[in-house]
Amino acid sequence: MIWLIGNRGMLGMEVETLLNRQKRDHIATDVEVDITNIEQLKEFVSNKPISWIINCAAYTSVDKAEDEPELAFKINADGPLNIAQIAVKKNARLIHISTDYVFDGTKEGAYLETDLPNPINIYGKSKFKGEKNIAETIKTYFIIRSAWLYGKNGANFVRTMLNLFREKTEVKIVADQWSSPTYASDLAEAVIRIIDIDPVTFGLYHFTNEGRTNWYQFATEIYNFAKIEGLIDRYVRVLPIETGQYQTKAKRPVNSYLSKEKISRDFNLNLIPWKESLARFISTSRHGL
């Protein structure tokens, strides 16, 4: 049996859609089972034959985390520790979702799984602590770092841009932070792929859609595809700016581009270019956008 944690979040909803479509034996929970309460977790799993745990639960508000460090660490670090302890108790394998923001952004090329993390904001630090807690607790784990996640459920950059394009005639977007967008549906497919293969080797992996871009280029493509689909019927100037011109509470890495060679090789994944996935998302989700 698969236990999906965080089934009402953006990624969790995509994973549960796949589990239901494929009629897999699973249970799914969200805030009703508190991952920061180990006794509640023990009680919940006491009579359940769980073989896989997928943890999609997280504190994801990067800027707000600067004001709520204790809450961010409680959910992103203590929660995964508790889940890992439950996985050990149930002899289950654990898939946990982490982030590109564990890196400081000073590397020029793509970040490998072997590169040393050095997070520069509270969110990244809390997620890295969660990674360490898992690795120190259980051997049968998969930690998947992703980046710039978007999908049809919940707040994300694509929805934000579409709203701005409808409201404004000019939108300024940071053009000097680099990474790769990730369509939540594609990441969900990768998660299920790992379970299908049922590997005997475990560890850390990076997954995003293929290709490197910046927020400005990402926003420009959102605008272009939205116009093609008839979601935007007006001209909007999309202008590039530097990070220094758009102040945020949390510092962001300049480069958090992740290498996907390892996950592609180990699980025979065909990574989809980010523009292709973005076009598919806007086309198939247009009525909900």
Torsion (CA) 21, 27, 29, 34 in degrees, nearest 10: -160
Candidate list 59, 123, 183, 205, residue with the active-site label? 123
Alpha-carbon distance 185 to 14, whole Å? 6
Both structure tokens of 202 = 């475990």
The question of whether 111 is a catalytic residue gets the answer no
28 touches 56 (CB < 8 A): no
Q: Where are the beta strands (DSSP E) in the chain?
A: 2-5, 26-29, 52-55, 93-99, 141-146, 149-150, 170-174, 178-179, 182-183, 203-206, 213-214, 237-241
Both structure tokens of 81 = 């520790």
Alpha-carbon distance 17 to 118, whole Å? 34
Residue 150 phi/psi, 5° resolution? -145, 160
Half-sphere exposure of 270 (CA within 13 A, CB side): 2
Amino acid, res. 109: G
Determine the Cα angle at 274 with ends 269 and 276, to 5°: 95
117 touches 125 (CB < 8 A): no
* Bridge pairing between strands 93-99 and 52-55: parallel
Query: Which residue matches tokens 């969200």?
Result: 30
Q: What is the DSSP letter of 240?
A: E
| Helix (H/G/I), strand (E/B), else coil: 246 | coil
Enumerate the active-site residues. 123
